[in-house]
Amino acid sequence: MTEENFEEEKKRLTPDTGFDLIGIDYFSEPGNQLYLVEHFEMYQEALNAKKERKNTDEYFILYKGAGGELFSR
């Protein structure tokens, strides 16, 4: 996955409110490798859901900051 494709996908999947748990499908075509697993209202819920996954390195949480900036963890 190129950095540019990855950043565009992250922008497309970042919610306006709340927190999205995102998965990475390394076998999909570039530009379609990220997918929404579940949306949460609270960060702790999203973090707990990520920790429950078998391979936590294949998941991350997307959200917008107070100034509209995009964050992932």
pLDDT tens digits, 19-67: 999 999 989 888 889 999 999 999 999 999 999 999 999 999 999 999 9
- Given a contact cutoff of 8 angstroms between Cβ atoms, the answer to whether 21 and 38 are in contact is yes
What is the pTM (predicted TM-score) of this model?
Answer: 0.90
| Contact in structure between 40 and 18 (CB atoms under 8 Å) | yes
Q: Is residue 10 within 8 Å of residue 50, measured between CB atoms?
A: no
pLDDT at 1 over 80: no
Amino acid present at 62: L
More confident residue, 37 or 4: 37
Whole-angstrom distance, CA of residue 32 vs CA of residue 43? 25
